[in-house]
């Protein structure tokens, strides 16, 4: 099964997608929250809104320079609701925190992933998800598809339950290529989602159908 997520904290942009029935949830990070004007004290309301709009899962990112600080904030985020998955960066402190959180029953997504080897610490701590940044990998001159393919191979070979949730997706063709190698979790901005429906042949066919329907 394929799970799509909306990578956005702007309610006006995200809500139509969540209500469409095509998306499983919402992914956010501090940058997206800041851009949408969402402050720390607003996060509980954001989670409640997202769930009502149709999100089964809401990803919120913890922060801090040490594992203890990351854990403190992560527990606060998890307390906002059972739909919350806590994101931590792929750092030594982040992995220490992730190991504790997963042992406590809090699902964790390891984020800011840029190379295939970083899947190994995520698997070792039993992280529920890992989020490689496809578009940004490619921007940096790396082969994003190859890197993520290696992650997928390593997960399958180890029999790990860690899921790859690819972020920084921009084009439908990239999403399709990732799905074709076995990736089952993808997150994208609303602007990227709209590109799936901007095919001139589809638009022409729909126009013909509409004209025929009117003439019936």
Where along the chain do its domains lie? Answer: 3-215
How many Å apart are CA 45 and CA 213, to the nearest integer?
44
pLDDT in the model for residue 117? 98
**pLDDT for 22-67, tens place per residue?**
999 999 999 999 999 999 999 999 999 999 999 999 999 999 999 9
How many Å apart are CA 96 and CA 89, to the nearest integer?
11
Around Cβ 172, how many Cβ atoms within 10 Å? Answer: 17
84 touches 67 (CB < 8 A)? no
What is the average pLDDT across 89-96? 98
State what percent of residues in the chain have pLDDT above 70: 100
pLDDT band for 116, please (50, 70, 90 cuts).
very high
Angle between helices 144-158 and 172-180 (to 10 degrees): 30
pLDDT in the model for residue 58? 98
121 touches 108 (CB < 8 A)? no
How many Å apart are CA 101 and CA 116, to the nearest integer?
23
How many Å apart are CA 192 and CA 40, to the nearest integer?
27
C-alpha triplet 37, 167, 122: angle, nearest 5°:
110
pLDDT band for 123, please (50, 70, 90 cuts).
very high
pLDDT in the model for residue 172? 97
- Name the phi and psi angles at 203, rounded to 5: -60, -40
Around Cβ 177, how many Cβ atoms within 10 Å? Answer: 16
129 touches 157 (CB < 8 A)? no
pLDDT band for 202, please (50, 70, 90 cuts).
very high
**pLDDT for 151-172, tens place per residue?**
999 999 999 999 999 999 999 9
Among 44, 48, 46, which Cα is nearest to 11's? 46
pLDDT in the model for residue 120? 98
What is the average pLDDT across 100-111? 98
pLDDT in the model for residue 187? 98
Averaged pLDDT score across all residues of the chain: 97
Angle between helices 43-53 and 11-19 (to 10 degrees): 30
60 touches 82 (CB < 8 A)? no
Does the domain formed by 3-215 have CATH 3.20.20.70?
A: yes
pTM over 0.75: yes
**pLDDT for 129-145, tens place per residue?**
999 999 999 999 999 99
């Amino acid at each position: 099964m394929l799970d799509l997520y909306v990578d956005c904290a702007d309610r006006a942009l995200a809500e139509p997608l969540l209500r469409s029935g095509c998306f499983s949830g919402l992914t956010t990070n501090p940058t997206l929250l800041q851009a949408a004007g969402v402050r720390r004290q607003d996060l509980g309301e954001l989670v409640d809104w997202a769930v009502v709009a149709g999100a089964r899962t809401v990803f919120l990112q913890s922060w801090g320079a040490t594992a203890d600080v990351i854990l403190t904030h992560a527990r606060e985020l998890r307390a906002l609701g059972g739909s919350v998955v806590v994101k931590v960066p792929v750092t030594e402190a982040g992995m220490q925190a992730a190991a504790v959180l997963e042992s406590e029953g809090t699902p964790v997504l390891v984020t800011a992933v840029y190379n295939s080897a970083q899947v190994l610490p995520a698997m070792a701590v039993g992280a529920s998800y890992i989020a490689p940044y496809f578009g940004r990998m490619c921007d940096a001159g790396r082969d994003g598809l190859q890197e993520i393919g290696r992650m997928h191979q390593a997960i399958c070979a180890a029999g790990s339950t860690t899921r790859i949730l690819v972020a920084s997706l921009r084009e439908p063709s990239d999403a399709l290529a990732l799905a074709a190698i076995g990736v089952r979790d993808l997150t994208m901005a609303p602007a990227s989602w709209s590109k799936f429906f901007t095919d001139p042949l589809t638009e022409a066919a729909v126009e013909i159908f509409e004209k025929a329907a009117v003439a019936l």
